[in-house]
Amino acid sequence: MVELNMAGIIGTGAGILLLIGFWTPATGSLVAVAGVWIAFSGHGDQWTPTMLAAVGAALAMIGPGAWSFDARLFGRKHIDL
């Protein structure tokens, strides 16, 4: 039970950092790891943490947005397809 609470705390902290756009690749990876951790812990619904893990991994790969703290501190990185 303590492991699940710790994963929730880590996931919440990383989610707040993602909302403000600070350290986006690192916190996106942390959200993905926490989501997988919660999904495989075996408590409750497993689809919601799995989806959160997928979104965290996608945000880690895409990077910060134009209005994030990362863009203000390190510059916007634009990807041309």
**Residue percentage of the chain with pLDDT more than 90:** 17
Q: Is a pLDDT exceeding 70 seen at residue 1?
A: no
Q: Is a pLDDT exceeding 70 seen at residue 80?
A: no
Number of Cβ within a 10 Å radius of residue 79: 6
Residue 79 sits at φ, ψ, to 5 deg, of -105, 120
Q: How large is the average pLDDT for residues 51-70?
A: 88
Task: Assess contact for 57 and 28: CB atoms under 8 A.
Answer: yes
Distances from the Cα of 62 to the Cα of 13, 25, 43, 55, angstroms: 20, 8, 30, 10
Q: Is a pLDDT exceeding 70 seen at residue 78?
A: no
pLDDT tens track for 16-46: 998 888 998 899 999 899 889 888 887 778 8
